[in-house]
Amino acid sequence: MNAIEIHGLHKIFEGFSLKDVSFSVPQGTVMGFVGENGAGKSTTIKCMLNLLKKEYGEILLFGQDHVEHELSIKNDIGVVFDDLHVPETLNATQLDKIMKKVFQTWDSSYYFERLTQFNVPKRKKIKELSRGMRMKLSIALALSHHPKLLILDEPTSGLDPIIRDEILDLFLAFMQDETHSILFSSHITSDLEKIADYITLIHNGEILLSESKDALLYDYGIFKGSSEEVSVLPEHAIIKKRNGAFGIEALVLKHEVNEAFRLEKPSIEDIMLFFVKGSV
């Protein structure tokens, strides 16, 4: 079963639109959702959560329509945005009282255990917390009603590497349950290389690729050389080309290229840059 299925999603704004967005997140996996700022990641997520009304298309969460079954679905979803969207005069203890009324499955003891684990002050006002502490509190709030699906919109953006690493460990612990799934939107591709099973790339409101991370990193290679050297590559092997610092770089399908060509292993960021900025 898929935790998320999106088919032909369209959302139109002045100057920007989502165009035929389609991808799925298999249950028990982590999908890295990548693209530059303004590519459509947050808009897609807000449509999924029915915070924005789609023009047309189908969104299924746990196999159910996201609008028709919105209330029951949201009890099984934990959401982390790039900041904590709650009144800043409240503290973590007051938020516990509010969340008890919002979620049937809210677990106060689990929530306070997470706050202790993350060293989040329980009685300090949210406006007095650092960005790292706000994100840890946001994650504790997202996890404490025991969701099956986490939807993360840039949760590690602007955090230092040590806090980012702590937060990634939390997500890995969440995934120990094989029924759990994560949609992880980020432009920090190194985070996704650590935990993602699949990568979906969105650019200018359109999906450019949606594949297994291992297949992407295994199937593609980067060839660097002069225009003459690149011209010798089989044309059907070249996915994208771009100008590099010392000549031309080509993203190629490894199995279509003779072993005599020396290829470098790409990162997720390399592949993203080729697809967004490279030419055919």
Assign residue 152 the CATH number of its domain.
Answer: 3.40.50.300
**Residue 228, pLDDT above cutoff 90:** no
Same domain membership, residue 130 and residue 265: no
11 and 137 in one domain? yes
Residues 112 and 186 occupy one common structural domain: yes
Q: Are residues 9 and 125 in the same domain?
A: yes
Range of the domain at 197: 2-211
Using CA atoms, how far apart are residues 88 and 94, in angstroms rounded to an integer? Answer: 11
Q: How far is CA 177 from the centre of its chain?
A: 19
- pTM of the prediction? 0.91
Same domain? For 182 and 243 the reply is no
Task: Name 227's Cβ contacts closer than 8 Å, sequence gap at least 6.
Answer: 247, 248
- Could you give the count of Cα atoms lying within 13 Å of 64 in the half-sphere of its Cβ? 12
**Residue 155 pLDDT greater than 80, yes or no:** yes
pLDDT tens across 63-114, in order? 999 999 998 898 999 999 888 888 999 999 999 999 999 998 999 999 999 9
**Any idea how long the chain is?**
280
Contact 140, 120 (CB under 8 A): yes
Q: Tell how strand 2-13 and strand 16-26 pair up.
A: antiparallel
Q: Quick one: average pLDDT of 123-140?
A: 91
Domain count for the chain: 2
